[in-house]
Structures are given as structure tokens and as C-alpha cells.
Structure 1
Amino acid sequence: MNDSSHYRSVFSPGLFAGQVILVTGGGSGIGRCTAHELASLGAQVVLAGRNADKLQQVQAEIADAGGKASIQAFDIRQEKAVRAAVADIVAAHGRIEGLVNNAGGQYLTPLAAISAKGWEAVIHTNLTGGFLVARECFVQSMQAHGGAIVNIVADMWGSMPHMGHSGAARAGMVSFTETAALEWAASGVRVNAVAPGYIASSGMDHYPSEAGDMLRAMRDTVPAGRFGNEAETSAAIAFLLSPAASFISGSVLRVDGARPHLRIGQRHRPAHAHLRPRAAVRPFGGFHLAETPRVFRDGGEAND
């Protein structure tokens, strides 16, 4: 955990000063962390999600740290709600310079046990919802003013066993990212994606307790020898939103410790894993409010 009382970003203070950036799924996990970092860099962050109470809590955290955030509670799967929410944001702030399309969710189950309803729910959350929010941000603001979009996908290269519905949706979002980057380039809009690998985030607490052993064992399949953290994912997002990425569009930035390069089923535990991690792969503790997921507190630390 970061010992500071404020976010410790690697980026220059004021990087996003005056910019309005919408972060969906901003009430927890990677979205919460990203909202904190962007606010610490001067952005007016708009926190979006279905749970207003969670959004208000993060809004208060950001205010306590000296940042600016507003909230917009809506369901990204509902087209009319998305259109109305984006209109409200534009009316309140004038425009939307950045979008972090982070909201999503899935559950563990093998393909043979996924119902049509369950499949559609995950597709709507992880693909359709992201498309709707991006489309409305483009149509209502970015088409006229430009902007940058970062879609959050997942480590689905080489398959996503027991999460096939999510893998299909995330692969679709990568294709959407590439197409939107092409179609919206003439309006000065860049569209990229960040693909988090195994990240020790609060999202892991939504899985059933019986999945604990499996979740803890996933670290052994990462060549870097550890889980990533929310701040490392947020840094990738901030970079792609920043002017330093002005010639990057239609790309996917993986934050995964090289895990997809292993063959399926292979376990990898680096020989030096018991040693102190070297600087190049040592965890970055930028988020001052980071918390270890319960699954690791109960059964061993994520990066011990």
C-alpha cells in the first residue's frame, strides 16, 4: 500500500487539468483507482455506475484528496439511460474529453453450463454496454471536439476457461476498438484498449469462496511471478489518455506480466520468486487507498 495520503502517480501534475473524463464502473476496483489517479492529475472525473452509494463514497474520497468528481448513476446496458446520462454530463460540463470504458462483470462457469440468459447478460455488460457509452460520447461530444477513449478488456488470448462468455465479449470489444479507431480518427478521436491480466483487485471478491484456491494459484502461471495491482493498470490507462499517446490508436496495451505467452495448462514459477523482486518487475504502489482482496487476506498475500 502507498504510505502517502494522496495518489502517487508517475505522470506530471496537472496533466489532465480542465479535462472532463468519464469513468464507468468507477465505484470499485480498477475504475475507482483510475478515477483517483485522473483526479490527482487535475481531471474533472465523472464517476458512473449503477450503485449511487458506491459512487458517492469514491466521490468523497477524491474530494478528501483535493480532487474533483461528480457522479452519474445509470445502467450502461440500457440505451435510453446511456443517451440521457451522456447528455446530462455534456450539459453540466460542456464536453467529454476522455472516456474510460471500464464497467463490466462476469461469473465463473464452464461453457456447457451457461444459459442463454447468462450469456446475454455478460455480453450486454462487457460488449454492448461499452459500445453504447462510447457511441454516445462520440456522437454527443467527441465528434465535434475530439477526445480519447480507453476500453478495458481482459487477458483472453489463448482462451478464458470457465469464462467463455466474458472472453467472447472482450474479444468483440477489441474488434470494436480497432473499428472505432478507424471510423472516428477523422474527428480527432483516439480509441485504444487496456487488457489487464491477473490483477489483485476488489473484483476478485465477487467470486464464490470455493474459487479461492484457484484464484490464489493463478499467480504461479505468471512469468513475472506475481499478480498485478490496480495502480499498474491505471497507469496504462492514463498513458493512453495522455498527449504522449497522440499517435497511438486502435491498439491494445496488455498489463499482464507476460502471462499469455505461456502454453495453455503450463505452470510457471520463476526460480527467483523467493527473492526480493528486482526493480523492473517490482509492484508499483501508487494508489494510497489500495486494499488487498479478501481472497488473499484469507489465504495468503497476492504478492508475498
Structure 2
Amino acid sequence: MQYASVFRPGLFAGRTILVTGGGSGLGRCTAHELKSLGARVALAGRTQEKLDRVKEELGDPDTFTFAADLRREDEVKAMVDGVLGWSDGRIDGLVNNAGGQFPAQLRDISLNGWNAVVNNNMTATFLVSKAVYLGSMDKHGGAIVNVGADFELGNPGMGHNGAARAGQTNFTYTASVEWAHSGVRVNSVLPGFIASSGLDRYPERAHGVLRGVKGRVPLKRHGTESEIAAAIVYLLSDAAAYVTGIALRVDGGLHNAGKSNFYEVPDHDRSTPYNGFPLYRRPKVLE
């Protein structure tokens, strides 16, 4: 079944786009949409088996895959070199989607745990972006989209993730200025609570929060993987040619509701989800 994208067919024809964290969840969904729009897709992630599974789903033997620890500069360089060798020296778009975190209070986070989340969510974004910029975009231009998380009000219960995402988004702001002269746009997408497979990796103690959070969201539901992929596709596309250095929240209004002390959104079912991904499966934790 074809991905039901809202964007025009052939939008990315002739363009090479690298998606990190492409073996599952948001990265997998984004890869499917980009492929449906004509892009040559390269997938990077930690587990080759997952990447191979997505490649098979895409039905294109030309899809490039590379398993690497994106926290390690040598492995990132080897990955980017591999993509450039496959793509005749160009990477037109980069989606920095790889990352991970776990719930814990600051007092309980070990140094190793802190470093792991910071390196996964901030350092890897820097390393991959820099390698892609130096390897291709400095000469040819391009678009980078970093997938982060809201951090502005802090991240109680996951302070390591809040710190990492703040740094990641600040990197977006800086790179959008420093790399503009090369024709490179750099933006961030900040998902809210998305009904993605990643929710099933959270420990059981977090399941109640994951299920109940939709009551705090003004649109009164979880987001879909396709709604994040669509935001990424927009920022990669020519329609966003004058958009750089922004952090686009896709959270159903959760951030704004978090600031409200005198208003509670009534329960409703007026928000219709968009789901263009035929292989999407709702995470078990939300069933």
C-alpha cells in the first residue's frame, strides 16, 4: 500500500535524504513518506537488522543502510562517507532523528546515564550534521531537520533529556546562521506525546502517564507518526525555502496549556488525526 502523503508526488525526485534512527518509530515513518515522494533514502541507526527490515518494507533495493553508534565520531564519519559514496557525493537532506531517553529524577541519574542521554540526543546531532555539512552541504547546500523535544519549561522527571534537547535546539539556532552562506537551512521539530513504537520501550511505571497525558493536551489526543513526518517533510521541502532557525512544536497545544492556570480545555473529540502510513501500528502501551 502506498503512503498517503499530503505532499505532491515527486517532491524529492533526484534528491538524497539521510534519516538517522531510521529503523523504527518516527524515523521509519519519515523514511516511508520520503520514499513515496521520490527521494533516494539512506537509513542509519544502531541495529542493522532493523534497518534491513525497513529497507525491505520500502521495496527499493537501492536504499542505503549503515549501522553505527552515532555518538562516536569515527563511526559517524564512516557512515557519512558511505552515504556519499553511494549517492555520488551529495546529501540534499538530513533528518537527525536518532535519540533516546528514560524517565528518572535528577537525584537518581548516574553520570553514565546523564552522558548517555546527552550524547544520544545532542552530541550525535552535532557529529552527524557537521560530517554531512563538511562532506556535501558546504558545497551543494541542503536542509537539516533535527527531531527534538520541548524543553522550555524544564523537563521534570527527565532532566537529562531536557538539558540535551535544549542544547540540540540551540545548536539548530547557531548552525542556521553559520551555515546560511552555504545555502543550508537548519530547523527543529519538537514532537509532543506521539503514539509511536518508542512508547513501548518506557518502563511500566511510566505507562499511566503515557496513557493519561492526552487529557492535558488541548486537542485531547496523542499525535501520530505521520503528523511528525509531515512537519519534517515540509521543512525539508522548497516550500520552506525561507524558513531556517526555527523550532516547530507538533504537540497538540500541550506547551501552551502548560502555562495556563485558569483554563481547562473541555473534553472533546473534534481533532481528527492524520495518518498516511499504511504500516502504522498503535503502540501496545496505549491499547
1:42–1:67 contact (8 Å) kept in structure 2? no
TM-score, normalised on structure 1?
0.91
| 1:44-81 deviation line (CA, Å, top 9, x unaligned) | 10010010000000000011xx6952211111101001
Q: Does 1:197 align with 2:192?
A: yes
From 264, 275, 284, the counterpart of 1:285 = 275
Distance 1:288 1:266 in 2: 40
Measured after TM superposition, the shift of residue 265 of structure 1 is 9.3
170-179 or 153-162: which moved more?
153-162
What residue in structure 2 maps to residue 73 of structure 1?
Answer: 67
SS at match of 1:244: helix
Q: Does 1:18 align with 2:8?
A: no
Q: Residues 122, 160 of structure 1: CA spacing in aligned structure 2 closer, same or farther, 3 A cutoff?
A: same
1:223–1:270 contact (8 Å) kept in structure 2? yes
What residue in structure 2 maps to residue 173 of structure 1?
Answer: 168
Measured after TM superposition, the shift of residue 271 of structure 1 is 2.4
1:62–1:68 contact (8 Å) kept in structure 2? no
Measured after TM superposition, the shift of residue 270 of structure 1 is 3.7
1:225–1:269 contact (8 Å) kept in structure 2? no
What residue in structure 1 maps to residue 83 of structure 2?
Answer: 89
Measured after TM superposition, the shift of residue 213 of structure 1 is 1.1
Q: Residues 58, 267 of structure 1: CA spacing in aligned structure 2 closer, same or farther, 3 A cutoff?
A: farther
Q: Residues 203, 269 of structure 1: CA spacing in aligned structure 2 closer, same or farther, 3 A cutoff?
A: farther
Unaligned 5+ runs, structure 2: none
| 1:183-224 deviation line (CA, Å, top 9, x unaligned) | 000000000000001111111011112221111111111011
Q: Equivalent residues in 2 for 1:187-266 (5 A)?
A: 187-263=182-258
Distance 1:267 1:170 in 2: 29
Distance 1:19 1:143 in 2: 16
Name the count of aligned residue pairs: 286
Measured after TM superposition, the shift of residue 264 of structure 1 is 6.1
What residue in structure 1 maps to residue 115 of structure 2?
Answer: 120
What residue in structure 1 maps to residue 29 of structure 2?
Answer: 33
Measured after TM superposition, the shift of residue 269 of structure 1 is 6.4
SS at match of 1:282: coil
SS at match of 2:26: helix
2:64–2:86 contact (8 Å) kept in structure 1? no
What residue in structure 1 maps to residue 40 of structure 2?
Answer: 44
Write the letter of the residue equivalent to 1:247. Y
1:40–1:67 contact (8 Å) kept in structure 2? no
67-76 or 186-195: which moved more?
67-76
Measured after TM superposition, the shift of residue 91 of structure 1 is 1.2
Q: Does 1:148 align with 2:143?
A: yes
Q: Residues 19, 138 of structure 1: CA spacing in aligned structure 2 closer, same or farther, 3 A cutoff?
A: same
SS at match of 2:14: coil
Measured after TM superposition, the shift of residue 159 of structure 1 is 1.8
TM-score, normalised on structure 2?
0.96
Q: CA RMSD in A?
A: 1.6
Measured after TM superposition, the shift of residue 9 of structure 1 is 0.3
From 38, 52, 62, the counterpart of 1:56 = 52
SS at match of 2:279: coil
Q: Does 1:296 align with 2:282?
A: no
SS at match of 2:171: helix
